[in-house]
């Protein structure tokens, strides 16, 4: 039962968590020049950079099964897929040590479930990862014409 405690806490306070995730996303991009568009622009810039690097600077043949080869653009998409997982993990891990300190007003002034701070962090990172994944799927469809 103790292993399920964080999940039960999230479920009990899910409305609060969802609203705080929305607020966190809004405040993260509110002061930026392009706002939420950065979530779309950065993966596209990475994809363009990887495609340029692996088609022009380092043109290599990436072998697959049965004598097939992965194109340079396909390899750039593969790297972007791996980076998407890495970015999700690193967003959560990099912000974790400072969660309580950066949210002192929740911790000190009101009764607040502190373990909800981690769920808010994960929710914001998942939002960004979902957008990057949708962009990756769109890029794969544009390049290959199919998802598989």
> Euclidean distance between the first and final Cα of the chain, in Å?
40
Mean of pLDDT values over 131-143:
89
Inform me whether the pLDDT recorded for 3 exceeds 80.
yes
Instruction: State the pLDDT confidence band at 19, using cuts at 50, 70 and 90.
Output: very high
Note whether 91 and 128 are within 8 A (CB): yes
Note whether 113 and 64 are within 8 A (CB): no
Instruction: State the pLDDT confidence band at 133, using cuts at 50, 70 and 90.
Output: very high
Give the chain's radius of gyration (CA, Å).
20
pTM attached to this predicted model? 0.78
**Bridge partner residues of 63 (DSSP):** 69
Mean of pLDDT values over 79-96:
90
Instruction: State the pLDDT confidence band at 67, using cuts at 50, 70 and 90.
Output: low
Inform me whether the pLDDT recorded for 127 exceeds 70.
yes
Handedness of CA 115, 121, 126, 129 (dihedral sign): negative
Q: Which two tokens stand for residue 80?
A: 């972007």
Stated as kind and residue range, the H or E segment containing 38 is: helix 37-52
């Amino acid at each position: 039962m103790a292993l399920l405690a964080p999940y039960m806490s999230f479920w009990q306070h899910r409305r609060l968590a969802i609203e705080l995730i929305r607020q966190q996303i809004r405040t993260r991009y509110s002061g930026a020049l392009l706002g939420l568009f950065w979530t779309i622009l950065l993966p596209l810039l990475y994809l363009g950079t990887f495609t340029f690097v692996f088609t022009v600077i380092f043109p290599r043949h990436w072998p697959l099964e049965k004598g097939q080869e992965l194109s340079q653009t396909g390899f750039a998409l593969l790297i972007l897929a791996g980076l998407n997982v890495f970015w999700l993990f690193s967003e959560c891990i990099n912000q974790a040590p400072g969660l309580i300190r950066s949210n002192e007003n929740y911790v000190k002034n009101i009764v607040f479930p502190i373990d909800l701070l981690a769920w808010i962090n994960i929710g914001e990172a998942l939002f960004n990862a979902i957008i990057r994944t949708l962009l990756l799927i769109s890029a794969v469809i544009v390049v290959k014409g199919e998802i598989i």
